[in-house]
Amino acid sequence: MTQQPLKSPAVTASPNLVWMVGLLAVAAAAGLLGNRFFNKPAPATPETKLEHAVEAFRSGYDQTALSTLTPLAAEGNPKAQYWLADIYENGLGVTPDATKAVALLGKSAAQGFVPAEKHLGELYLQGNETLQDFGAAQTWLRKAAIAGNSAAQRELGHIYALGLGVPSDPSMAYGWYENAALNGDGLAKGMRDDILTRMEPPAVAKGQQDAKDIGGEIKPAKSEIKPPKL
């Protein structure tokens, strides 16, 4: 009697196994789609564009910074206006244009951007980039000083010490110098100590009171954007 070879029994996938494999396939596909979706680069925002422009400055790519900042400034971004003003004031990749720089600073300062307020006040005080205007200088420097900018506080002390557009007032000068010094301005400390040597006791007493009154108006300083070191 011839023995027939044994046949392997047919393997039939159970319904549970088929269902599990299908579920895993769907999950894997969903994971891939999810990764593709979530790994897409986020759309650029005005803040990220501004950061890229600053990096371009620091790397010496003035034209890249210019092309990035120009549309942002046109849209009314005060920080972009401030940086673009720096480009035109210093001729970074463009022909220097003080008029355009002052106009951009004015737009930025009008929106309350403290560095623009301070620098615009300095330009009006110095009269190198625009017509000297002590009234405008005092207006913008005071805004920046009250916002907590110590350099603007020192400049106001200078205005009162020398009587630039205002009556000379050593006590008021002392008051502004004192607050600038308390906010960490080393130059103001020296100016305060110097003017103190030329003040009579009544003026010193008034200066100390002026310092307290001014200090009560000043808001805590906020972090500010500083121009890159080129």
Give the C-alpha separation, 23 to 41, whole Å.
30
For 149, the 3-state DSSP assignment is: coil
pLDDT score at 54? 78
Please tell me whether residues 166 and 88 are part of one structural domain: no
Residue 222 pLDDT class (50, 70, 90 cuts)? low
Please tell me whether residues 87 and 184 are part of one structural domain: no
**Taking the mean position of all CA atoms in its chain, how far away is CA 182?**
23
Residue 175 pLDDT class (50, 70, 90 cuts)? very high
Please tell me whether residues 160 and 99 are part of one structural domain: no
Is 21 within a domain?
Answer: no
Per-chain mean pLDDT for the chain: 84
Is 32 within a domain?
Answer: no
Residue 15 pLDDT class (50, 70, 90 cuts)? low
Residue 29 pLDDT class (50, 70, 90 cuts)? very low
Give the C-alpha separation, 129 to 85, whole Å.
12
User: Which of 87, 111, 135 marks a domain boundary?
Assistant: 111
pLDDT score at 27? 46
User: Which of 56, 83, 111 marks a domain boundary?
Assistant: 111
Please tell me whether residues 91 and 192 are part of one structural domain: no
Please tell me whether residues 143 and 212 are part of one structural domain: yes
Please tell me whether residues 151 and 90 are part of one structural domain: no
pLDDT score at 28? 47
User: Which of 111, 139, 157 marks a domain boundary?
Assistant: 111
> Is the pLDDT score of 58 beyond 70?
yes
Please tell me whether residues 65 and 154 are part of one structural domain: no
Is 200 within a domain?
Answer: yes
Count: domains in the chain: 2
Is 30 within a domain?
Answer: no
Residue 4 pLDDT class (50, 70, 90 cuts)? low
Please tell me whether residues 105 and 197 are part of one structural domain: no
Query: pLDDT tens digits for 120-136?
Result: 999 999 999 999 999 99
Give the C-alpha separation, 49 to 58, whole Å.
14
Is 89 within a domain?
Answer: yes
Please tell me whether residues 104 and 166 are part of one structural domain: no
Is 230 within a domain?
Answer: no
Q: What is the chain's alpha carbon radius of gyration, rounded to the nearest angstrom?
A: 32
Given a contact cutoff of 8 angstroms between Cβ atoms, the answer to whether 102 and 124 are in contact is: no
Percent of the chain with pLDDT over 70: 77
Residue 221 pLDDT class (50, 70, 90 cuts)? low
φ and ψ of 44, to 5 deg: -65, 135
Is 1 within a domain?
Answer: no
Is 207 within a domain?
Answer: yes
Print the domain residue range for 58: 47-111
pLDDT, greater one: 68 or 221? 68
Please tell me whether residues 143 and 201 are part of one structural domain: yes
Please tell me whether residues 121 and 197 are part of one structural domain: yes
Please tell me whether residues 142 and 75 are part of one structural domain: no
In this structure, what CATH number is given to the domain that contains residue 120? Answer: 1.25.40.10
pLDDT score at 220? 79
